[in-house]
Amino acid sequence: MTSLEITKKRIELHELCTLIEETFRREGCDDANSRAVAQTLLKAERDGATSHGVFRLPGYLASLRSGKVNGHAKPKIDVTAPSILRIDGDGGFAPLAHQLLLDPLERITRSQGIAMAAIQNTYHFSALWIELEMLAERGLVAFACTSYKPALPPAGGKKPLYGTNPIAFAWPRTNNPPLVFDQASSVVARGEVMLAARDGRQVAAGIGIDPDGLPTTEPEAILKGALLPYGGYKGASIALMVELLAGPLLGECLSIEAAKRDNNDGGPPRGGEFILAISPERTCGSSRYLDHAEVLFSAMLSESGVRLPGDSRRRKRTKIEESGVEIEDYLLSILHGKK
Amino acid sequence: MTSLEITKKRIELHELCTLIEETFRREGCDDANSRAVAQTLLKAERDGATSHGVFRLPGYLASLRSGKVNGHAKPKIDVTAPSILRIDGDGGFAPLAHQLLLDPLERITRSQGIAMAAIQNTYHFSALWIELEMLAERGLVAFACTSYKPALPPAGGKKPLYGTNPIAFAWPRTNNPPLVFDQASSVVARGEVMLAARDGRQVAAGIGIDPDGLPTTEPEAILKGALLPYGGYKGASIALMVELLAGPLLGECLSIEAAKRDNNDGGPPRGGEFILAISPERTCGSSRYLDHAEVLFSAMLSESGVRLPGDSRRRKRTKIEESGVEIEDYLLSILHGKK
């Protein structure tokens, strides 16, 4: 037996979903929250996005056990202006808030042409593409961003100030799943640097700086220093925009404030999420936008080596839906209530 | 006398404004369009943004003389959904459309919370920060983007497909001008590569590729090949988002389509512009967002070496408003109707 067979087991997706739901119920979450979080974790596993899947389960559970996250959260939605939905997540994980906002956000977007969802008081611990894909599957164009805890310095600086601050964008398609990209403002995710530190590997140049602000390829030095934004000052501008959109604009916190109030239990900090939804029929006046965008996608794909964003995720989906997913034994132990 | 004294003359801003307006009138533009374009060119000169100032005058005039741009354009504004303004620029330069949309866009944004302006059928030949600063001076948060003619390859590709596709973002401040950034999706502007080619200089590595897709520092090879997006595939994702937002979403063209229908007279191609405006009072429920954002700006500025985006532009503004701007003799000749 190889070490892979020792440490992982293959499991069907529907079985995994049941195990996740039961785990959250056992940890004191109500049915609605258990189901919503399970579906979000399952979508990450289904698309091979392992780092956002059950790999995060220990962090989720730590935040329930520390009392930071409300497992019985009842998100409350208010229409604060004709095109603005404000969602108070009631201190719970973000997935239930996302499920509850889909219908009203779609309705308002179709009637107003464009709408914004301002999510406050939730704990976002997954990828943004999950909620954006659900909106684009309903025919809407969507954009989202969220901040976190400080990881990136501003342009010209050395001290972490911005979160890794991802943005995501989704575009609906007729005979294909939506085009979705979701990217952090850092060159690489913090998790990749942590894995390199664990394994004693150097990382590539240009990923981070040490506490003195000097370039380094030592993962430990970067974890004490800072990650770098992609594209220099331009990526830093994106991270700054995200701080403002997901923080002050929504009445939620900045990354530096999130870090101060977080109890560092291993789960996510409390924060805000900015979601924008647009009805393309109302902006272009017909359904022509669908074929029109395909002109661009075809031009992209006419060159060898070019793929559409999200394509590799969707290729993995097809395979995993057929044959299930491999889960590490220590995570299966948690899922079976043995830890 | 130095060569600078031979080729440039200092001129007061109000005098420059009059000269620009008269030039556009002489070339057949009506009063409204002449004034609007003059104010846009003047704002670029006022902020030391030389490459978007009267440096572009020959291109503007070429597009009037070739008959491509309508100097008597009467932009038409329709509210196509409660939160969507559609502006048909009537084939004119973009500045008059921008001026006309400010009042209705502000009104709709304040009542709806968020609104989008879909600008079609105009020729955008300046920086995006100019219209965004006007919106943020009215207390709105704003985002804009526009495409152009192909300059950047998609991730994994070699052939130009996306325009340099800038995005811009503006945030209002109380005792300071708005924070505004405006950045192309390329590492550097095409104009910088053209200047290097003219002067026989090499450019830095990582800026562009030759027609075979190979990295090069030869500016001529890049101009025949492609510029590169900042931050690799992540900047390419931003450029892709811009193509969709400023093209199919608005019922306007992609960069590859803009190139096909352009007459290459030296002026800009016809295209669309996506503008988003948000009323932060309506999204956060109070005026607290103003002080809250200053917490972030103060944290940024507490570290030496860090500046807010747009700061250097505003420092130049103060100086140029006092002492005027230096304009090359060949441009002054055009402004005096001698060319």
| Rounded distance between C-alpha atoms, residue B241 and residue B237, angstroms | 6
Phi/psi of residue B85, each to 5°?
A: -105, 125
Query: Is B180 touching A (CB cutoff 8 A)?
Result: no
Both B159 and B58 in a single domain?
no
Both A134 and A229 in a single domain?
yes
Query: Is A111 touching B (CB cutoff 8 A)?
Result: yes
First to last CA, chain A: 25
**Pair of tokens at residue A39:** 């579906």
Both B16 and B151 in a single domain?
no
pLDDT at B259: 96
Both B123 and B166 in a single domain?
yes
Pairing of strands A76-81, A8-11: unpaired
Half-sphere exposure of A214 (CA within 13 A, CB side): 4
Query: Does the pLDDT at position A102 exceed 50?
Result: yes
CA–CA min distance B172, chain A (Å): 11
- Other Cβ atoms less than 10 A from the Cβ of B220: the count is 14
pLDDT at B3: 46
Kindly report the average pLDDT of chain A as a whole number: 95
Mutate to test the interface with B, among A149, A253, A300, A313 (most CBs of B within 10 A): A300
**Pair of tokens at residue B120:** 């079609």
- How would DSSP label each residue in B259-318? HHH---SSSPPPEEEEEEEE-HHHHHSSSHHHHHHHHHHHHHHTSTT---TTHHHHHHHH
Catalytic member of A22, A192, A257, A326: A192
Contact B84, A115 (CB under 8 A): no
pLDDT at A34: 98
Using a CB-CB distance cutoff of 8 angstroms, which residues of chain B are in contact with residue A174? none
A 20-79 → B contacts, CB under 8 A: none
Q: What is the CATH number of the domain that holds B322?
A: 1.10.1530.10
Tokens 């002050």, located at residue: A248
pLDDT at B6: 57
The percent helix, strand, coil of chain A (3-state, each to 5) is 45, 20, 35
Contact B123, B159 (CB under 8 A): no
Q: Nearest by CB to A248, which of B237, B292, B306?
A: B292
Contact A305, B156 (CB under 8 A): yes
Query: Does the pLDDT at position B1 exceed 70?
Result: no
Query: Does the pLDDT at position B325 exceed 90?
Result: yes
Both A97 and A64 in a single domain?
no
In sequence order, which residues have a C-beta less than 8 Å from that of residue B318 and are 6 or more positions away?
none
Both A9 and A47 in a single domain?
yes
pLDDT at A192: 85
pLDDT at B195: 82
Strands (E), chain B: 8-11, 76-81, 84-93, 114-123, 141-146, 167-171, 179-183, 208-209, 215-216, 226-227, 271-278, 325-328
Q: What is the CATH number of the domain that holds B199?
A: 3.30.60.50
**Amino acid letter at A307?**
R
What is the SS3 assignment for A57? helix
Using a CB-CB distance cutoff of 8 angstroms, which residues of chain A are in contact with residue B247? 292-293, 296
- Other Cβ atoms less than 10 A from the Cβ of A162: the count is 33
Query: Does the pLDDT at position A94 exceed 60?
Result: yes
Query: Does the pLDDT at position A5 exceed 80?
Result: no
Residue B319 lies in a domain: yes
Both A89 and A234 in a single domain?
yes
The residues with which A79 forms a beta bridge, in sequence order, are A85
**Pair of tokens at residue B257:** 């389509």
Q: Nearest by CB to B118, which of A141, A283, A292?
A: A283
The yes-or-no answer on residue A186 being catalytic is no
The residues with which B206 forms a beta bridge, in sequence order, are none
Confidence bin at A2 (pLDDT 50/70/90): very low
Both B135 and B116 in a single domain?
yes
pLDDT at A6: 57
pLDDT at B191: 80
Using a CB-CB distance cutoff of 8 angstroms, which residues of chain A are in contact with residue B85? none
| Rounded distance between C-alpha atoms, residue A226 and residue A165, angstroms | 14
Both B123 and B253 in a single domain?
yes
Query: Is A231 touching B (CB cutoff 8 A)?
Result: yes
Both A218 and A93 in a single domain?
yes
Domain holding A44, by residue range, is 3-69+314-335
The yes-or-no answer on residue B51 being catalytic is yes
| Rounded distance between C-alpha atoms, residue A141 and residue A177, angstroms | 13
Q: How many CB pairs under 8 A join A and B?
A: 235
Residue A152 DSSP label: B
Contact A219, A197 (CB under 8 A): yes
Residue A246 lies in a domain: yes
Mutate to test the interface with B, among A76, A78, A80, A83 (most CBs of B within 10 A): A83
Q: Nearest by CB to A161, which of B159, B169, B300?
A: B300
**Amino acid letter at A26?**
R
Q: Which among A25, A91, A113 is positioned nearest to A61, based on CA atoms?
A: A25
What is the SS3 assignment for B116? strand
**Pair of tokens at residue B294:** 């200053």
What is the SS3 assignment for B82? coil
Which pLDDT tens digit goes with each residue over B144-175?
Answer: 999 999 999 999 999 999 999 999 999 999 99
Q: What ipTM was predicted for this assembly?
A: 0.96
Order of strands, edge to edge, in the sheet holding B76-81? B76-81, B84-93, B114-123, B271-278, B141-146, B167-171, B179-183
The yes-or-no answer on residue B52 being catalytic is yes
CA–CA min distance A5, chain B (Å): 35
What is the SS3 assignment for B156? coil
Query: Does the pLDDT at position B2 exceed 60?
Result: no
In sequence order, which residues have a C-beta less than 8 Å from that of residue A176 and are 6 or more positions away?
none
Using a CB-CB distance cutoff of 8 angstroms, which residues of chain A are in contact with residue B248? 280, 284, 288-290, 292-293, 296
Residue B303 lies in a domain: no
Which pLDDT tens digit goes with each residue over A38-69?
Answer: 999 999 999 999 888 999 999 999 999 999 99
Q: Which burial class, exposed, middle or buried, applies to B318 when counting CB atoms under 10 A from its CB (0-12, 13-18, 19+)?
A: exposed
Residue A308 lies in a domain: no
| Rounded distance between C-alpha atoms, residue B222 and residue A14, angstroms | 52
| Rounded distance between C-alpha atoms, residue A75 and residue A92, angstroms | 8
The residues with which B271 forms a beta bridge, in sequence order, are B122
Q: What is the CATH number of the domain that holds A168?
A: 3.30.1370.60
Both B17 and B82 in a single domain?
no
Which pLDDT tens digit goes with each residue over B283-322?
Answer: 988 999 999 999 999 999 999 999 999 999 999 999 999 9
CA–CA min distance A330, chain B (Å): 34
Which pLDDT tens digit goes with each residue over A170-203?
Answer: 999 999 999 999 999 999 988 889 889 988 999 9
Both A25 and A121 in a single domain?
no
Using a CB-CB distance cutoff of 8 angstroms, which residues of chain A are in contact with residue B280? 248-249
How many structural domains compose chain A? Answer: 2
| Rounded distance between C-alpha atoms, residue B287 and residue A324, angstroms | 50
Residue B53 DSSP label: T
Q: Which whole-number Å values give the CA distances from A184 to A146, B68, B134, in the listed order?
A: 10, 41, 30
Contact A4, A321 (CB under 8 A): no
Q: Which whole-number Å values give the CA distances from B110 to B77, B83, B309, in the listed order?
A: 18, 10, 26
Helices and strands in chain B, H and E counts: 14, 12
Answer whether B248 sits within 8 Å of A305, measured CB to CB: no
Query: Is B116 touching A (CB cutoff 8 A)?
Result: yes
A 122-161 → B contacts, CB under 8 A: 141, 143, 153-159, 161
Compute the CA torsion angle A52, A53, A57, A59 (nearest 10 deg).
0
Residue A51 DSSP label: G
pLDDT at B165: 97
Residue B105 lies in a domain: yes
Query: Does the pLDDT at position A97 exceed 90?
Result: yes
Using a CB-CB distance cutoff of 8 angstroms, which residues of chain A are in contact with residue B143? 241
Catalytic member of A14, A51, A66, A336: A51
Query: Does the pLDDT at position B98 exceed 60?
Result: yes
Residue A289 lies in a domain: no
Q: Which whole-number Å values give the CA distances from A236 to A230, A258, B177, in the listed order?
A: 8, 19, 20
Handedness of CA A170, A171, A177, A179 (dihedral sign): negative
Query: Does the pLDDT at position A3 exceed 60?
Result: no
Residue A62 lies in a domain: yes
